[in-house]
Structure 1
């Protein structure tokens, strides 16, 4: 387990594997590399980040992963792998399931929600990006990218 504080002072516990902590995840994060580039999106308020969000009522966590990725990037993914979980302990503690998968379709003209669409970056471009969301600057992001690179689908 990797433990650190986020930029807001919340205690974050990152574990690798699904359902490692007994807390049900209702938030999702997609860390995906395709053809040598990371799938990111431009959140309209926070900046460049991996796609993700919250599961809607009646929706499975896997359905939320697919929906959020399409809504934020226009990219459809399959072969989902839930490889990690974040627990953020703060005033409103929550669990975020982290997924990767395979790209099966890229809509070049998607209807987007809350984002400017897909951004594809190499690792070098990501490391030099000055518009990163605060979410991309925490200690766990490097570990998550490392896992995806070591286990590319």
Structure 2
């Protein structure tokens, strides 16, 4: 599936499964815990799904577990690789994001959530006040990934 994002960049979204190789340089979690979606409160952008850059020598799966814990204190119970999308940036920098649906077993309280204010739970994306939503969760790729999570029966949104 192809579309243009809010910055008029071409995006290609491909649905994946656990048999596919996750090789993106960024990761994104769509986590759920006790029948609610788990978000993080980014200090600048607002409420969004956890994620970030894959570090040198790290696998995509290791990166998503690390990012999820750093930003929310959440521990993974089950990860499902659901999609990958590539954003064609103006400066030609490769930007490929692996997307995981994650069932969370618990959320540990932490003293520091790095660039975020920690975990926040909502039943649905539309429950988040519009003025508090990060522009990142309003992206068409994320909307499609949420639909994929629903179609796979991983979370009833």
Work out whether the TM-score is over 0.5: yes
Residue in structure 2 matched with residue 98 of structure 1 by the alignment: 99
Q: State how far apart, in whole Å, the 1-side matches of 2:116 and 2:97 are.
A: 20
Q: Secondary structure at the match of 1:57?
A: coil
Residue in structure 2 matched with residue 17 of structure 1 by the alignment: 16
TM-score by length of 2: 0.86
How far off its partner does 1:33 sit? Answer: 2.4
Residue in structure 2 matched with residue 114 of structure 1 by the alignment: 115
Q: State how far apart, in whole Å, the 2-side matches of 1:23 and 1:148 are.
A: 17
Asked if 1:26 corresponds to 2:34, the answer is no
Describe the superposition over 1:70-123 as per-residue Cα deviations: whole angstroms up to 9, x where unpaired: 000111113211110010001223110000122122113353110010010111
Runs (5+) with no aligned partner, structure 2: none
Does the 8 Å CA contact 2:27/2:63 hold for their aligned counterparts? yes
RMSD of Structure 2 on Structure 1 (CA): 2.3
Does the 8 Å CA contact 1:74/1:111 hold for their aligned counterparts? no
- Call closer, same or farther: CA 1:104–1:110 in 2, change over 3 Å: farther
Does the 8 Å CA contact 1:18/1:97 hold for their aligned counterparts? no
Describe the superposition over 1:127-153 as per-residue Cα deviations: whole angstroms up to 9, x where unpaired: x43211111111122221122123217
Residue in structure 1 matched with residue 49 of structure 2 by the alignment: 50
Q: Secondary structure at the match of 2:145?
A: helix
Task: Say how many residue pairs are matched.
Answer: 151
21-30 or 9-18: bigger deviation:
21-30
TM-score by length of 1: 0.88
Moved over 4 A (4+): none
Runs (5+) with no aligned partner, structure 1: none
